[in-house]
Structure 1
Amino acid sequence: MAYQCDLGNNQTVYLDNSGSQTIVTTASGSPGQQQQSSNSFETGAWTAPPEMYRTPGGVTLKIQAQGGDRWIQIQGQSSNLSDASSIPLQEVSQVPGSSQQPMQPMQPMQPMQPMQPMQPMQPMQPMKMGNMEMNNNPMEMRMGNMEMRMGSSPQNTGSQRRFCSQCGSPVQPSDRFCGNCGHKLS
Structure 2
Amino acid sequence: MAYVCELGAGQRVYLENQGLQTVVTLMSSSPGQQQQASNSFTTGVWSSPPQVFQTPYGMVLKITSEQGEKTLQIQGSGVSVISSMPLAKDSEQLPVHEVATLPVSPMPGVESLKPMPPMKPMEPMNLNMGNMQMSMNPMEMRMGNMGMRMGSPAPQNTPQTQRFCTQCGASVKPEDRFCSSCGHPIHHQ
Q: What is the SS of the residue equivalent to 1:80?
A: coil
Distance between the aligned counterparts of 1:89 and 1:9, measured in 2? 16
Deviation, 1:4, is 0.4
* Structure-2-length-normalised TM-score: 0.50
Distance between the aligned counterparts of 2:66 and 2:6, measured in 1? 27
Encode CA deviations 1:77-107: one digit per residue, 9 max, x unaligned: 97434331100001111111146xxx99xxx
Name segments (4+ residues, structure 1) moved above 6 Å: none
* Structure 2 residue aligned with 1:34: 34
CA, structure 1 residues 17+66, in 2 after alignment: closer, same or farther (shift >3 Å)? same
* Structure 2 residue aligned with 1:51: 51
Q: Aligned partner of 2:74: which letter?
A: I
Encode CA deviations 1:101-154: one digit per residue, 9 max, x unaligned: xx99xxxxxxxxxxxxxxxxxxxxxxxxxxxxxxxxxxxxxxxxxxxxxxxxxx
* Structure 2 residue aligned with 1:97: 104
CA, structure 1 residues 7+75, in 2 after alignment: closer, same or farther (shift >3 Å)? same
Unmatched runs of 5 consecutive residues or more in structure 2: 110-189
* Structure 2 residue aligned with 1:80: 87
Q: Does 1:69 align with 2:69?
A: yes
Q: Aligned partner of 2:11: which letter?
A: Q
Q: Aligned partner of 1:21: which letter?
A: Q
Distance between the aligned counterparts of 2:67 and 2:97, measured in 1? 24
Q: Does 1:7 align with 2:7?
A: yes
Q: Aligned partner of 2:89: which letter?
A: S
Deviation, 1:6, is 0.5
* Structure-1-length-normalised TM-score: 0.50
Instruction: Identify the range of structure 1 (75-84 vs 17-26) with the bigger mean alpha-carbon deviation.
Output: 75-84
Q: Aligned partner of 1:20: which letter?
A: L
Q: What is the SS of the residue equivalent to 2:89?
A: helix
Unmatched runs of 5 consecutive residues or more in structure 1: 105-186
Distance between the aligned counterparts of 1:98 and 1:50, measured in 2? 22
Number of aligned pairs? Answer: 101
Distance between the aligned counterparts of 1:53 and 1:37, measured in 2? 19
Encode CA deviations 1:21-68: one digit per residue, 9 max, x unaligned: 000000011111110010000000000000000001110000000110
- Percent identity, aligned pairs only? 50
